[in-house]
Amino acid sequence: MEGEELLGRRVSREDFLKLAAAAGGAGLLAGRAGAADAALARLAAESGRLQVMDWAGYEVKPLWAQYLKKYPGQKPKFTFMTNEANAFAKLRAGVRPDVLRPYVGYVRDFAESGFVQPWDPKLITNLKYLNPVMVKAGQYKGKQYGIPSDWGFDAILYRTDKVHPKEKSWSLLFDKRYGGKIAWYDDLSSLVWAGYYLGFKQPYNQSDDELKRSQKLLISKKKLVRMFWSSETDMNNAFASGDLWIAYAWPNDWVTMKAKGLKVQYMHPREGPLSWVGMLMLGKGSPRPQHAHAYVDAWSSVQSASWLENNYGYGAANLKARPKSSDLLRVLKLTNPNAVREPNAHIDRYVPRRAVYARLWEEVKAA
pLDDT above 90: residue 358: yes
The verdict on pTM exceeding 0.85 is no
Class of domain 51-150+275-331: alpha beta
Task: Give the pLDDT confidence score for residue 330 in this predicted structure.
Answer: 72
Q: What is the CA radius of gyration of the chain?
A: 23
Task: Give the pLDDT confidence score for residue 206 in this predicted structure.
Answer: 98
For the chain, where do the domains classified as CATH 3.40.190.10 start and end? Answer: 51-150+275-331, 152-274+347-366
> What is the bridge-based pairing of β-strands 99-100 and 274-283?
antiparallel
**Conformation bin of residue 240: beta by default, left when phi > 0, alpha when psi is -120 to 50:** alpha
Mean pLDDT of 118-131: 97
What would the DSSP string read from start to end of 184-207? EESSTHHHHHHHHHTT-S-GGG--
Task: Give the pLDDT confidence score for residue 87 in this predicted structure.
Answer: 97
d(CA 188, CA 169): 19
pLDDT above 70: residue 50: yes
d(CA 315, CA 335): 9
Closest CA to 303 of 89, 64, 134, 85: 64
d(CA 149, CA 281): 10
Cβ neighbourhood burial of 326 (10 Å; 0-12, 13-18, 19+): exposed
Task: Give the pLDDT confidence score for residue 45 in this predicted structure.
Answer: 63
User: Residue 343, preceding bond cis, omega within 30 degrees?
Assistant: yes
Cβ-proximal residues to 279 (8 Å cutoff; 6+ apart), any chain: 101, 102, 103, 104, 106, 107, 137, 138, 145, 146, 147, 148, 149
Q: How many residues appear in the chain?
A: 367
Mean pLDDT of 184-207: 97
Class of domain 152-274+347-366: alpha beta
